[in-house]
Structure 1
Amino acid sequence: MAVRYDDVRALLACPHSSRDLTAPGLPRMVTGFSADDVPGVLITMHGADHERQRRILQRAFTVNAAERWRPQCREIAHELLDGVDGSVIDIVADYALPLSARMICQVLGVPASDWARFHNWTAAFLSATAESAETRIEAFVAFRSYLEHLVAAHRNTPGHDLVDDLIRAQDEGDRLSQNELVNVLFVLIAAGHESASTMITRGVYRLLLHPEQCRTLQATPALVRSAVEEILRYDGPGAPGLLRLLTEKLDLPSGATVAAGTVVLPNINAANHDPDAFPEPQRFDIRRFAAATRPHLAFGHGAHFCLGANLARMELQEALSALLLRAPGLRPALSLDDVRWTTQLFHQPLRLPVILA
């Protein structure tokens, strides 16, 4: 495991640091079938084919592309808060999950009623301990089938959603195949939807632990962008990172040498708390990123930097802004010491009831 910021960044940037761990016998973060066993998806690809797909996809995930969805995200956030009956809301079930689900449905152009289906599939597939390997495989197969039908429907009736953007996306005339499109959507929903919900919940939890920071953010809404970056540094992405296989020897900045054939975990959370990179890393400070500082690694670095980073940032900004605007007296409805957490790879509270008034 690599834990220092410079070492983790070097591992993520190294062209010989492969995400292809599909060969038999290589280590896994969970037992049985998992994301590391799925061939042909961006998060497990390496080399020229990975670079080709990223070139085709990158135009669909720019800052401007994410900003296109900001009004819809803001509207959904306020609609969810409008629908609160009483003064208590569970951030997980009543806000973070439906917000991220409705957003992914909007972005992909699928019926909002379908979100419960793919949430159940992704929850099972990403489970670290609660589900059997057989259940994860069944969820994966059902999810793939759904996505194949979704792409076919958009090919037959083109529109203006992200699926249509991906179907049209090309680089020098090169387009994604049907299988590649399905794989991209699989990663986008499985990782994007679940991680967005997780980060909204964990962000609110962190602000509740620091009520003075929460009040500062409510008094100065312009700090929301900096606050989101600090939440991502401090609490993101909810999992330590993804394993890498070194195909050649690598000398790390710390002086350690990683031999070819070694599987390493670049621990992103540890790197984001490295005191050499972030002074007083255990101090949560929503103003930290308002000034010049080193970039956090919550979205990774290098060839596998998260394609959906701009969309995720926007969603987290809008979710927190709406909640803090509408809940000036925001406070926990139970002791934060009593909050129970999931066993999924994306670690988050099972419930987070808060008082809005």
Structure 2
Amino acid sequence: MTEVFDAERDWPRIVPGPLGTPPPEWDRRREHGPLAPAAMPSGDRVPLAVRYEDVRALLASPACSRNLRLPGLPRFVTGIGIDDDPDSLVNQDPPEHTRFRRILQGTFTPRAVEPWRERVAKIADDLLDGLDPEFDLVEAYAVQLPGLVICALLGVPIEMYGQFRTWTDMFLSTSNLNEQDRHRGYTEFMAYAAELVAEHRAAPGKDLIDHLIAARDEGDRLTEGELVNTVFSLITAGHETTTSMIARGAFRLLVHPAQWADLVADPSLAQTAVEEILRYDGPPASAFMRRVTRDTDFPSAPLPAGTVVMPDLNAANHDPAAFPDPASFDLRRFADHPPHPHVAFGYGNHRCLAAALARIELTEAFRALALHRPTLHLAVPPEDIPWTDGLTYRPRALPVTTT
């Protein structure tokens, strides 16, 4: 018999387990209500997909649209949000989306981004070399590394990074700010992205923004709005999403000291460790909502045309049907004969375009941590670590020591 769900138990009240572990609610939903409604931060209720097969099917289905700008549709947050921008790659459907990705894809292939690895590694090494034996790993490393990297890659003055953080915190908040503050953070950030594009047009260089300006496919280029939005998205994702993954990944390793010791003994494990960190701890709680454009059968149930549904990437990554013993953190899970691929970067035609770059940054972050701070451990009990709220969930601070 299908269990009845109510708003008091629905997301965002689907809270993580102890120490940021998976919410027990996911297991109950998989068994009793794999597409049961959940409350979004806006208060609107939409079906929440928690099974791996449903999430992949939703993300791959041509019947699922990212155009949520029609009047009367459920909202993820109140006021302005990412869903409202028609120039954003994440909001476009084919054929516009196909054209957009085709123009950009050459800039973000594994081969194209591999030359940046050495630069990222040096930034990580230099940061760790300059730290005291005791430090806050979030503020001194998880925040600083993505900031230095994204500023270096985009050719942005490092002095602007503090402002990026302010704007991003305003825009990604779901509970700390009102709609006007969220709108201001978004519009000010977008205006600065437009200034960056204009500056690089006037004085071209060899930074990532210059590559984006020059990117074309058969003579087709990005529109100005698409270009500005891409720069905005790269800064936002390159800052908070990466910070969150470094902070959560470091915490997860340090509360599993035997696995941390394995990484220290063999830093080349960083690459497979990153895949398990992505599966276990990231990314933000869900993908973007989808609108079903025609009656469609999904693995768990049919959804009628007009339904707006939320695929939960993290829930899918903890589905025992796809990942044996999913609650176990195992940095060798993806080493030899990996299970199903995780969906931390999404799936289908909206899969994260910059996934190869994110993997380089995370791999070098944990490799450097193992090499430079092999005796690292938490300076406080793990239960005392404070966590953030909002669209990204991570340790707010992570006091660590090497003594």
- Report the TM-score range of the alignment, normalised by the length of the smaller protein: over 0.9
Rounded to whole Å, the distance in 2 between the matches of 1:332 and 1:230 is: 21
- 1:112 aligns to 2:123 (yes or no): no
Q: Distance in 1 between the 2:140 and 2:260 partners?
A: 20
Partner residue, 2:42: none
- 2:91 is aligned to 44
CA deviations 1:94-150 (Å, max 9, x no partner) are 001110011000110111111111121111101111111101111111111111111
Amino acid at match of 1:170: R
Alignment pair present for 1:58 and 2:105:
yes
In the aligned structure 1, how far is the partner of 2:148 from the partner of 2:179?
A: 28
Distance across 1 between alignment mates of 2:90 and 2:173 = 17
Deviation at 1:238, TM superposition (A): 2.8
Aligned residue in 1 for 2:67: 20
Matches within 5 A, 1:291-330: 291-292=336-337, 293-330=339-376
> What is the match of residue 67 of structure 1?
114
Work out the CA distance in 2 between the residues paired with 1:43 and 1:193. 18
Counterpart residue type for residue 258 of structure 1: L
Distance 2:117 2:402 in 1: 23
Query: What does residue 263 of structure 2 align with?
Result: 217
Residue 253 of structure 1, CA deviation: 2.3
Aligned pairs for 1:68-107 within 5 A: 68-84=115-131, 86-107=132-153
1: CA distance between counterparts of 2:233 and 2:64? Answer: 20
2:386 to 331, 334, 340: 340
The 4+ residue runs of structure 1 with deviation greater than 4 A are none
Residue in 1 that maps onto 2:208:
162
8 A Cα contact 2:68 2:291, kept in partner: yes
How high is the TM-score relative to the length of structure 1?
Answer: 0.97
Q: Is the 8 A contact 1:238 1:348 kept in 2?
A: no
The answer to whether the Cα contact below 8 Å between 2:173 and 2:391 also exists between their aligned partners in 1 is yes
Percent of aligned positions that are identical: 51
Tell me the distance in 2 between the aligned counterparts of 1:44 and 1:339.
36
Structure 1 residue 279 and structure 2 residue 334: aligned?
Answer: no
Counterpart AA for 1:25:
G
Q: Is the contact between residue 250 and residue 258 of structure 1 (CA under 8 Å) also seen in structure 2?
A: yes
Residue 207 (str. 1) matches residue 253 (str. 2) = yes
**Residue of structure 2 in register with 1:136 after alignment:** 182
Structure 1: runs of 5+ lacking an equivalent: none
Amino acid paired to 1:14: S
Does the CA contact (< 8 Å) of 2:270 and 2:367 recur in 1?
A: yes
* C-alpha displacement of 1:278: 0.5
Determine the structure 1 residue equivalent to 2:23. Answer: none
The amino acid across from 2:282 in the alignment is G
Alignment of 1:182-197 (within 5 A): 182-197=228-243
Kindly indicate whether the alpha-carbon contact (under 8 Å) linking 2:317 and 2:323 is maintained by their aligned counterparts in 1: yes
Q: Residue type of the partner of 1:57?
A: L
Q: How do 1:148-159 residues align onto structure 2 when only pairs under 5 Å count?
A: 148-159=194-205
In the TM superposition, what is the alpha-carbon distance from 1:47 to its structure 2 partner? Answer: 2.2
In the aligned structure 1, how far is the partner of 2:52 from the partner of 2:119? 36
2: distance between equivalents of 1:238 and 1:74?
A: 25
SS of the counterpart of 2:369? helix
User: In 2, Cα distance between the equivalents of 1:266 and 1:276?
Assistant: 16
8 A contact 2:90–2:350 mirrored in 1: yes
- Give the length in aligned residue pairs: 355
The offset of 1:23, in angstroms, is 2.0
After superposition, give the CA deviation of every residue in 1:242-272 in whole Å (9 maximum; x if it has no partner): 1111111221123x10111001111111110
How much has 1:87 moved relative to structure 2? 1.1
The farther-off stretch of 188-197 and 345-354 is 188-197
Give the structure, 1 or 2, with the largest relative contact order (CA under 8 Å, sep 6 or more). Answer: 1
1:24, 1:140 → 2: CA distance? 21
1:270 to 305, 315, 340: 315
Give the Cα–Cα distance (whole angstroms) in 1 for the partners of residues 308 and 95 of structure 2.
21
Tell whether the 8 Å contact from 2:388 to 2:395 is kept in structure 1 after alignment: yes
Q: 1:2 aligns with which of 49, 56, 59?
A: 49
- Asked if the contact 1:3–1:271 (Cα under 8 Å) also holds between the matched residues in 2, the reply is yes
Q: Is the Cα contact below 8 Å between 2:268 and 2:367 reproduced in 1?
A: no
Task: Give a deviation string over 1:210-234, Cα, whole Å, max 9, x none.
Answer: 1111111111222111110000000
Letter in 2 for 1:10: A
Q: Counterpart of 2:17?
A: none
Aligned residue for 2:39? Answer: none
1:191 Cα offset (Å): 2.4
Distance, in Å, in 2 between the alignment partners of 1:82 and 1:191 is: 26
Q: Deviations over 1:47-86 (max 9, x none)?
A: 21111101000001111222121111111111111221x3
Query: Is residue 77–residue 322 contact of structure 1 (8 Å, CA) maintained in 2?
Result: yes
Corresponding residue for 1:11? 58
1:126 to 2:168 alignment? no
TM-score (norm 2): 0.86
- Matched ranges for 1:247-258 at <5 A: 247-254=293-300, 256-258=301-303
Name the CA distance, whole Å, in 2 between partners of 1:49 and 1:193. Answer: 27
Report which stretch shifted further, 210-219 or 185-194: 185-194
Deviation, structure 1 residue 28 = 2.4
* C-alpha displacement of 1:239: 1.9
What SS class does the counterpart of residue 311 from structure 2 fall into?
A: coil
Contact 1:105 1:112 in 2 (8 A): yes
